[in-house]
Amino acid sequence: MIDLGGAPLDKALIAQRIRPLFSRALAPGSPIYLANHSLGRPPDRAAEDVAQAMQAWSRDMGEAWRPWLDAREKFRAMTARLVGASTPDSIVPKTSAAQGLRAVLNACDERIRVVTTDAEFDSLDFVLRVYRERGRIDLTMVPPRAEALIAALAPRCDLVVLSTVLFRSGEIVAGVDEVIRRAHATGAKVLLDVYHHAGVLPLDLVALNADFAVGGSYKYTRGGPGACWLYVHPRHQGLRTLDTGWFAKEAPFAYARPDPPRFAPGGDAWLESTPPVLAAVQALAGLEFTLDIGVERLRIFHLAQKQRFAALLANHGLRVEGAGTDYGAFLTFVHPRASELATRLKERGVKTDARGEYLRLCADLLNTDDELAAAADALQALV
């Protein structure tokens, strides 16, 4: 999509080479968009890719499955590169992170004990509470600190579920590698929620030795809803989940029905039924854009941008958290009426959001310094 060589991201390069790729999202009259931590702004090519996939449907009908499935495999391969998976088949496409968690839970034949934190995103939190209510798991919830998670491993734990970056505050959870090591020493597996990590911070799931991970393209890789995934470490690809379907068969298009069922090799055994291929299609342009620029280069730019934005807010007497290297992509302004502030900012042409008392403010490389200054002025006027 874009080849910047080794050039650093600066205002001139962004204006000349990057912003033109987003003409739809940056149409005149668009609000100041500071919810990049929520729904990422898509490249123009995403709409073009979806249009081509739809054209193939109308033109080729059943033959459209060839380019559609090619797109799914590209999605798996690019996601594997993004998160440091060893093979593309370790990435199992899903429509939500919660669907990925359910697949892991449904690979357990007996009631298991799960340890998680009280700071997980609502979707995973809700799934775990429902499984507990149905008697499928025993659930222990602790603060999102490595020492609390490690202490909760005793007397028995089968699965640890935790985010590497917290969705409310953007705080990076320290000591995740030690949690994984200690969990493995007790025989437990670890599932990481990396939704606020992938595309923001360098990530190497193999080096972390994570058993499972969930994430998606909705946010930082600009792929929209439905383009999510489950990472399954190769050592666990022989597990059999009840979340299955005919695409998990050894040879799905042979239409054989061996008994007992025979599964595809590797991570393909975790596939389900007919996949929602357009979700993969719409995610490709954003993934390619992110990989072309490089997560490390994006991180350097965004850290400097966060610090500039925090300084602008501080000049207005507004103290925010999140500017340092121990946070992910966004700043937070803690206020008892954070949700009301988000609504009133929207009325003033500044789009952001709130989670509890945290007003979340996330600029990205498409935001100009003038926009950040205007957003700081708008927030000061409301506080």
Using one digit for the tens of pLDDT, what is the confidence trace for 198-237?
A: 999 999 999 999 999 999 999 999 999 999 999 999 999 9
Peptide linkage before 260 cis (omega within 30 of 0): yes
pLDDT > 90? residue 3: no
Pairing of strands 350-351, 353-355: unpaired
**Per-residue model confidence as pLDDT tens digits over 150-180:** 999 999 999 999 999 999 999 999 999 999 9
Give the C-alpha separation, 379 to 142, whole Å. Answer: 34
- 8 versus 142: the higher-pLDDT residue is 142
Give the C-alpha separation, 338 to 121, whole Å. Answer: 18
**Per-residue model confidence as pLDDT tens digits over 61-87:** 999 999 999 999 999 999 999 999 999
Q: What is the pTM of this model?
A: 0.96
When pLDDT is averaged across residues 119-129 and rounded to a whole number, the result is 98
Q: Extract the tokens encoding 251.
A: 């040879």
**Per-residue model confidence as pLDDT tens digits over 296-327:** 999 999 999 999 999 999 999 999 999 999 99
Q: Locate the domains of the chain by residue range.
A: 11-43+294-382, 50-291
Are 365 and 298 a contacting pair, CB within 8 Å? yes
3 C-beta neighbours (distance < 10 Å), count: 8
Radius of gyration of the chain (CA): 22
Cβ density class 219-258: b for 16+ within 10 Å, e for less: bbbbbbebbbbbbbbeebbebebebbeebbbeebeeeeee
Give the CATH number of domain 50-291. 3.40.640.10
Q: Where are the beta strands (DSSP E) in 129-257?
A: 137-142, 159-163, 189-193, 212-216, 228-232
**Amino acid residing at 312:** L
Q: What is the DSSP letter of 268?
A: G
Cβ density class 145-159: b for 16+ within 10 Å, e for less: ebebbbebbeeebbb
pLDDT > 90? residue 2: no
Give the C-alpha separation, 359 to 168, whole Å. Answer: 9
**Amino acid residing at 120:** E
State the CATH architecture for 11-43+294-382.
Alpha-Beta Complex (3.90)
Helix (H, G, I), strand (E, B) or coil at 359: strand
pLDDT band of residue 7 (cuts 50, 70, 90) is: confident
**Per-residue model confidence as pLDDT tens digits over 239-284:** 999 999 999 999 999 999 999 999 999 999 999 999 999 999 999 9
β-bridge partners, 331: 361
pLDDT band of residue 1 (cuts 50, 70, 90) is: confident
Q: The sheet that has 358-361: what strands, in order across it? A: 331-334, 358-361, 353-355
Give the C-alpha separation, 117 to 14, whole Å. Answer: 39
**Per-residue model confidence as pLDDT tens digits over 322-369:** 999 999 999 999 999 999 999 999 999 999 999 999 999 999 999 999
